[in-house]
Amino acid sequence: MAGSHDHVEEALPPGKSFADRVYLPAVMRGLKLTVQKFFGTVTDKHATVQYPEVGIYDASEAERAIGHPNPRYRGEHILVKDEQGREKCVACLLCMAACPALCIHIEPEPTPPEWGDRERRPKVFEIDMLRCIYCGYCEEACPCDAIRLTPKFYTPTTSRTERVYDKERLLENNPAAQIPQRPAK
Amino acid sequence: MSETTTERLEVPFTIDGASYTALKGETVLEAALRNGYFIPHYCWHPSLSIAGNCRMCLVHTKPGPPKPQIACNTVVSEGMEVDASSEKTLTAREGILEFLLANHPLDCPICDQAGECDLQQYSFDHGRTTSKFSEIKTQRPRHDLGPRIRFNGNRCILCTRCVRFCDEVTGTGELTVVNRSDSAWIDVFPGVPLDNPLSGCTADLCPVGALLDSDWIHTTRVWLLRGTKSVCSGCATGCNVNVEAFDDSVKRMTPRENQPVNKWWMCDEGRDSHREATTDSRLNVARLDGQPVKHQDALEAALDLFSATPAAKIAYLTTGHATCEELHLLETITDGPGGVNYRPDGGAFETLDGFKLSADKNPNRAGVVAVLGDVDAGERVRKGIESGQIELVVVCDSQPGGANWDEGLVEALKGDVKAIVISLEDTWLAQTKQVAFPGLHAIEKDGTFVNQNGRLQRVRAAVSAPGDTRGELDVLQELGRSAGHFPRVLSAGGVFRRLAAASPDAFGGLTYRGLGAVGLPLAGAADQTPADKCQTYYNAGPVSRETRAQDEQTRVAVHRESPLGYGTVRGNV
Ligand code: SF4
Ligand code: SF4
Ligand code: SF4
Ligand code: SF4
Ligand code: FES
């Protein structure tokens, strides 16, 4: 750290030609893009979607939308179901142990005897989405692939309590359902 | 165990080059553990005979054969060089683990032992990450062996600790190994369930998740539990326990080692005793003339009542479940006679190794004698009430189910005499008398009990009390303070200091700090074992339970200081 500033020289903009030094051509190039996109809006070739009136999971819209989330985006959780529609979660509480925000609350219970293939399941499964930092550690910790983070990021609610998701809500938490309804005119 | 006396000759030997001394006749494993050197093991336990069947404790010794030997059954000889961590030994250990895991289901996520499982721990420390075993794993039965023990045959490593416990400690011999080799499992004889009074200890002894306590199975995970070192309130034995709680609710009670009191064991009834605190019949609100009121309103009424009555006209009634501190307060704030109710005797049991489960189901009968001296079951209180000398009775009833007062006394109490009742249960007294306060169960309060052999031991609060329950100590001290007995309300430790000053013969020189985890004998008690002789080098429960508890302490101290703890804030966020 002993005060050498040699690298400052290298950090200057790379262009050394005349055109680069007067800047104007670059400015013109930028303006050209702006104007193009501006007319694109008029001719129905949007660079953006009218979120939230238009959902980004609306297939036709999503294709054109530039900013639609990467499939690996970490949004709200979903509890995965098995082939018979039961939760895959065995209430091992490893996600709860891994969670750095301490926002998962699970109470295990024995499965009904007719299940046969496993011994326990969650009686209560709650995630406090307000405390969650969407780190994905729970997904990583799960030995049963029972919890996943979806790209669902549409999260506003009118009360804090609604942000504590219970088991039923997590099981049905479908990312496609994040298209909000266009408000009636 | 018991013969670790000074007369035994000491034998010098080395483990991995470091020198230690063993007692003559001691095995390598015993000597190593006593000296604080840990050699992994499953089947050996200090209270049980040596079986030598898990092979986990393999070490190389010189002099000795070129192949590894089991440390638990190799007697230390003079100058023996034990090699417990060379490449050769570790390879042997790895091989053993591979065998043990060959048929193991590896269902840790749904296994309630996970987190305090020695198989998990040693696999993590010494095991391989892969297995050469590609055949189909054998399937062994999964069923209940008795009312509280669930057996999962696939997880069993056939260490036979449970079998030897039933043969050598309880002497009931319910368990046996059936079949051979990889289709062997542990079972009971037909029609003879595993239901001895100590059956829960087999689950503690089982180093893996093959035997689990069906009382708390599938309710929580062990790493969430916070243990509080306390004493069981089930009987006069006063077993040392860890009250393990999560989310402010007790999930299980497990024994703590205390040789003169409970060795490594505790009884099944004691394990269930925390349920007395969550019954529906519990009083959880203060009452004024039977109507639920706020604590403060009830307290004001009680103070009025108390100060309007001269001390000589106040008597008290209590039970064998009151702590020494409560007894001392009752005695201090009243001048009238007192009476004590005891629970009737229950079943007694004595193990072959000398652990006595007392028939006396009152945890503090000896404490009543030490603090109050000679008291009867309420005869004098009855006479006082009948002759009109007693106008107010302070009833302090922490007996689960409610005290069963003598008929004559009940008749007398039903009359005009006023009463301030502090009660664990919603008894008729609490419902009909002037003022009633909810009391605390032993898992919720601080205090001391004196066990049947005169050992004074601490009870510690493991969970908080329901609602705005303040408990006996608080209410009694408020009453006493209004009458000028004390300047302020103290903690249980402070009350104990007063008690020690007031009765120096029995309690002189004792402090909470001095009592520590294992308690101290009162003067003249039958059990005079000093605190440093109460615990050996071996804990109750699986080895990794202790390690986990220590890790958890560190972890909590380092970064789990969230005031909200785990989980969501339910309801009101
Ligand atoms: S994403 Fe991270 S913070 Fe959110 S619940 Fe999972 S582990 Fe916890
Ligand atoms: S880690 Fe997976 S299986 Fe375990 S409790 Fe969480 S979601 Fe359920
Ligand atoms: S016995 Fe131990 S290793 Fe086996 S499944 Fe249970 S926790 Fe895992
Ligand atoms: S059930 Fe547990 S204690 Fe009994 S032999 Fe099997 S592993 Fe050992
Ligand atoms: S502990 Fe030595 S063989 Fe099991």
Residue type, B332: T
Query: Which residues does B484 contact at the CB level (< 8 Å), separation at least 6?
Result: none
Q: Which domain holds residue B236?
A: 108-131+138-276
Q: How confident is the model at residue B1 (pLDDT cuts 50, 70, 90)?
A: very low
Distance CA B392, CA B378 (A): 14
Residue A116 has pLDDT above 70, yes or no: yes
Question: Is residue B528 situated within a structural domain?
Answer: no
Q: Can you tell me the ipTM of this complex? A: 0.81
Same domain (yes/no): B78, B115: no
CA distance to partner chain B, nearest, from residue A145 (Å): 12
Chain A positions in Cβ-Cβ contact with residue B223 (cut-off 8 Å): 97
DSSP calls for B385-423? HHTT---EEEEEE--TT-----HHHHHHHHSS-EEEEEE
Question: Which residue is closest in CA terms to ligand 1's atom 5?
Answer: A132
Same domain (yes/no): B207, B288: no
Residue A180 has pLDDT above 80, yes or no: no
Structural domain tally of chain B?
3
What are the tens digits of pLDDT across the range B347-401? 999 999 999 999 999 999 999 999 999 899 999 999 999 999 999 999 999 999 9
**CATH at residue B223:** 3.30.70.20
**CATH at residue B7:** 3.10.20.740
Q: Where are the alpha helices (DSSP H) in B114-240?
A: 118-126, 161-164, 200-205
What are the tens digits of pLDDT across the range B455-486? 999 999 999 998 889 999 999 999 999 999 99
Question: Is residue B544 situated within a structural domain?
Answer: no
Taking residues B510-529, report their average pLDDT.
90
A81, β-bridge pairs: A87
Same domain (yes/no): B506, B362: yes
- CB A102 to CB B567 under 8 A? yes
Same domain (yes/no): B311, B432: yes
pLDDT for residue A178: 54
CA distance to partner chain B, nearest, from residue A164 (Å): 8
- CB A126 to CB B567 under 8 A? yes
Return the CATH fold of A77-178: Alpha-Beta Plaits (3.30.70)
Q: How confident is the model at residue B195 (pLDDT cuts 50, 70, 90)?
A: very high
Distance CA B140, CA B188 (A): 14
Same domain (yes/no): B292, B363: yes
Question: Which residue is closest in CA terms to ligand 1's atom 2?
Answer: A135
Q: How confident is the model at residue A110 (pLDDT cuts 50, 70, 90)?
A: very high
CA dist B413 → B26, B42, B348, B376 (Å): 63, 59, 33, 16
Q: Which long-range contacts (CB under 8 A, 24 or more apart) does A34-42 make?
A: none
Closest Cα partner for B465 from B277, B335, B318, B321?
A: B277
Pairing, β B211-213 against β B286-288: unpaired
Residue B451 has pLDDT above 80, yes or no: yes
Using a pLDDT cut of 90, give the percent of chain A over it.
43
Tabulate helix, strand, coil % of chain B (nearest 5): 30, 20, 50
Q: Distance, CA B570 to ligand 3 centroid (Å)?
A: 32
Same domain (yes/no): B214, B200: yes
Domain boundaries, chain A: 18-64, 77-178
Residue type, A34: T
What are the tens digits of pLDDT across the range A52-65? 666 655 545 444 44
Average pLDDT, whole number, for chain A? Answer: 80
Chain A positions in Cβ-Cβ contact with residue B114 (cut-off 8 Å): 92
What are the tens digits of pLDDT across the range A38-89? 888 888 777 776 766 666 555 454 444 444 566 778 889 999 999 999 999 9
Give the pair of three-digit tokens for residue B103.
């048929």
Q: How confident is the model at residue B553 (pLDDT cuts 50, 70, 90)?
A: low
Contact present, B42 and B54 (Cβ < 8 Å): yes
Same domain (yes/no): B254, B362: no
Closest Cα partner for B440 from B303, B329, B276, B328?
A: B276
B570 interface with A at CB cutoff 8 Å: yes
pLDDT for residue B132: 87
What are the tens digits of pLDDT across the range B247-292? 889 999 999 999 999 999 999 999 999 999 999 999 999 999 999 9
Tabulate helix, strand, coil % of chain A (nearest 5): 30, 15, 55
Same domain (yes/no): B236, B365: no
Question: Is residue B567 situated within a structural domain?
Answer: no
Q: How confident is the model at residue B90 (pLDDT cuts 50, 70, 90)?
A: very high
CA distance to partner chain B, nearest, from residue A144 (Å): 9
